[in-house]
Amino acid sequence: MANLVIDIGNTYTKIAVFERDEMVYNNQYQSIDAILLNKILAGNSVETAIISSVKKKDTPEWDALLTSGIRIMYFNAAMKGRVINHYLTPETLGLDRLAAVIGANYLYPGQDNFIIDGGTCITYDHVDAGGNYFGGSISPGLNMRYKALNYYTAGLPLIKSDETFDEPYGNSTTTAIRSGVQNGIKYELEGFVKKYKKDEQELNIVLCGGDSIFFDTLLKNSIFAPYIKIEPHLVLKGLNAAIQNNND
């Protein structure tokens, strides 16, 4: 039997189907409805579904699941798997961050993991070899930075990221913006990794989220490149792990 994982993020809703640890289906959508859910269910023998949302209100599409005989689990702060959560306000911890931490700890047990999630925001979280999680950091994401420069100024244009840009500075307004945003993120990534790598000599740098490949490009020539593990679907895998941990 399979598990259905639904992750409702700020921009997209990501849906995956797992048979134990193997992801057999995944896609992302700007909107979902009962027709779509039923189509996914029809092609898979789903027994359990887990739903995680960064939004405050649940959407009504879950009626399609509730009438299908599938066991429904709503991911919450108490479903921390084998992670020991020391966060002072666990009820305010973003569920996507918690799922990523659970996923890293599940995929790389007994190891120190530093998770960098490149999505709408960039989040940095560390779970040590003993499964202890104390907290992390949140900063604006790649596209958010580009949009902010355009929105909050009178003269700066809105441009898109360019993974081929590899200069220390810009010699035009466009490249100056690109240098500030992309080099700024690069130095931010390296600074956070350097801090955690100093404390934990054997450290996995787990990149996830929509910009994980782009961040890997930014770090490809750094001294940290050998420690990087790319897991674009880490949050989905963490939610699937939460189901399995809850069943154990």
Residue type for position 38: N
Angstrom distance (rounded) from CA 47 to CA 86? 32
Structure tokens of 141?
């994401």
Structure tokens of 147?
């949009």
Q: Which of 96, 112, 125, 128 is catalytic?
A: 96
3-state SS assignment for residue 19: strand
**Cα dihedral across residues 116, 152, 183, 210: positive or negative:** positive
Q: Which residue from 189, 232, 228, 215 is spatially nearest to 7, judged by alpha carbons? A: 232
Is there a catalytic annotation at residue 96?
yes
Full DSSP string of 72-84: EEE--TT--TT-E
Residue type for position 50: I
Catalytic site positions: 96
